[in-house]
Amino acid sequence: MIFKKRARWLISITQFIACGLIAGCGTLGAIGDGIYFSTSKKKLEIAIDSLYSNHPEYKIPAKWNKYNDWSKAGYDFLESRIFYFKSDPEEMYYITFIGDSVALADTSKIAIGIRAVFNEKNITGKWWLAADDLKSKDKERIEKRFDDEIISKLELYTKKKASKKSL
């Protein structure tokens, strides 16, 4: 009986500490809603590769490769892509696939989200800005740009209409 109580107490304490550590590890939020495609992750990856191939202007330019430091920052476990936009404001969007291994393996749907934005002119001193660093008018502009320039093309390549849902 005493052993069971101590075991439950130890498990509870361990879970509490683990939850605190996970929540405090600098998780990335999302700028805007998740963007869902009713297709497999593999097909969306092929669409993204096609987009890069047909529109190389969305690839990171050499001058900004040094800012692609997500792996060094400990986010190499996320499956991600970066989209570059040359026109004013010149910026890059860090995009990740959303979900755990089960969600990512689902062949009927996949979601992506904008996790951070890099703008060389930002005055905060940070390289990448997350949702909390942005004003709502900037978030709206970023979402609209991404929808107009990237999502619309991915919808053509996947032959699927994207939908949005809060993350």
User: Where along the chain do its domains lie?
Assistant: 31-165
pLDDT of residue 28: 67
Q: What is the reported pTM?
A: 0.79
**19 pLDDT higher than 90:** no
> DSSP string of 88-105?
SSPEEEEEEEES-HHHHH
Residue 60 DSSP label: P
Q: What is the CATH code for 31-165?
A: 3.30.530
The residue assigned the tokens 């001058």 is 63
pLDDT of residue 27: 58
The pair of structure tokens assigned to 17 is 């500490």
pLDDT of residue 24: 30
1-10, 24-33, 43-52: least confident range: 1-10
